[in-house]
């Protein structure tokens, strides 16, 4: 009578080795993905730190002097090290600001190890304010006032002004006619009569 044959010790060891190799490959892929996500998160935070540095300089109201400076700042529950380089440009009154950021716990020299570099400009020659402060809550277009006012205004029905909407029923003077009406035509003066000293075409010579 024949008995069933089981796995030998060598076969079991080979199977365990294959499973271990496969699990190691899977764990390596998961670790690489986790490191990539962590790096992208830190890179995004570093860009925000750099943008905040440039925005702070712009709203300070003072011109940033040319030169290099560095420091540390806490952001998103972590300490960050930044380095700022301010360079004069060919445009008078405008400087270029380069901000490099990396986590403070990463030890590197001044040229390596930075997670991001953000550039911006600052100066008083970028644009001249015109003093116009729009009323974002108004429903009328800029340049048009309340109904019935003067030049370049949308007037009330029945009023006529320069550039305004005129009396209903009229075509001329910028007016808009009432529905189903053409309004009155503008008066056209008749042609002048011929001079009296010249004969008319019908008179005999």
pLDDT tens digit sequence for 63-84: 889 999 999 999 988 999 999 9
Query: Does the structural domain 10-123 have CATH classification 2.102.10.10?
Result: no
What pLDDT digit, counting tens, does each position of 95-128 carry?
999 999 999 988 888 888 899 999 999 987 655 5
Q: How confident is the model at residue 150 (pLDDT cuts 50, 70, 90)?
A: very low
Query: Is 180 in contact with 168 (CB distance < 8 Å)?
Result: no
How much is the average pLDDT of 56-60? 89
How much is the average pLDDT of 58-62? 86
- Tell me the backbone φ, ψ of residue 118, rounded to 5 degrees: -115, 135
Q: What is the mean pLDDT of the chain?
A: 75
Higher pLDDT, 85 or 92: 85
Out of 16-25, 117-126, 157-166, the most confident range is 16-25
Query: Is 122 in contact with 63 (CB distance < 8 Å)?
Result: yes
> Is 163's pLDDT higher than 50?
no
Q: How confident is the model at residue 162 (pLDDT cuts 50, 70, 90)?
A: very low
List b or e across 144-177, with b for residues whose CB sees 16 or more CB atoms inside 10 angstroms: eeeeeeeeebbbeeeeebeebbbbeebeeeebee
- Tell me the backbone φ, ψ of residue 141, rounded to 5 degrees: -75, 155
Distance CA 99, CA 54 (A): 8
List all residues 6 or more positions away from 185 whose beta carbon is below 8 Å from its beta carbon. Answer: 171
Higher pLDDT, 146 or 30: 30
What pLDDT digit, counting tens, does each position of 23-39 carry?
988 888 888 888 899 88
Output the CA torsion sign for 108, 112, 117, 120: positive
Query: Is 50 in contact with 118 (CB distance < 8 Å)?
Result: yes
Distance CA 82, CA 93 (A): 25
How much is the average pLDDT of 134-151? 58
What tokens were used for 108? 């590197």
Q: Residue 119 has what DSSP assignment?
A: E
Distance CA 164, CA 153 (A): 6
Q: Residue 104 has what DSSP assignment?
A: T
Higher pLDDT, 137 or 8: 8
């Amino acid at each position: 009578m024949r008995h069933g044959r089981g796995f030998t010790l060598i076969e079991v060891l080979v199977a365990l080795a294959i499973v271990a190799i496969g699990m190691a490959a899977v764990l390596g892929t998961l670790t690489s993905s986790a490191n990539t996500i962590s790096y992208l998160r830190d890179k995004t935070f570093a860009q925000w730190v750099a943008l905040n540095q440039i925005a702070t300089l712009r709203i300070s109201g003072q011109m940033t002097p040319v030169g290099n400076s560095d420091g540390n700042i806490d952001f998103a529950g972590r300490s960050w090290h930044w380095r700022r380089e301010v360079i004069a440009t060919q445009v008078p009154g405008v400087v270029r600001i380069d901000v490099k950021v990396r986590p403070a716990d990463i030890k590197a020299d001044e040229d390596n190890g930075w997670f991001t570099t953000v550039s911006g400009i600052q100066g008083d020659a970028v644009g001249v304010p015109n003093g116009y402060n729009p009323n974002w809550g108004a429903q009328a277009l800029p340049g048009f006032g309340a109904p019935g006012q003067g030049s370049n205004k949308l007037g009330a029905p029945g009023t006529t002004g320069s550039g305004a909407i005129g009396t209903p029923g009229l075509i001329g003077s910028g007016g808009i006619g009432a529905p189903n009406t053409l309004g009155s035509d503008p008066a056209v003066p008749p042609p002048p009569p011929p001079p009296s000293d010249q004969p008319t075409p019908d008179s005999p010579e």
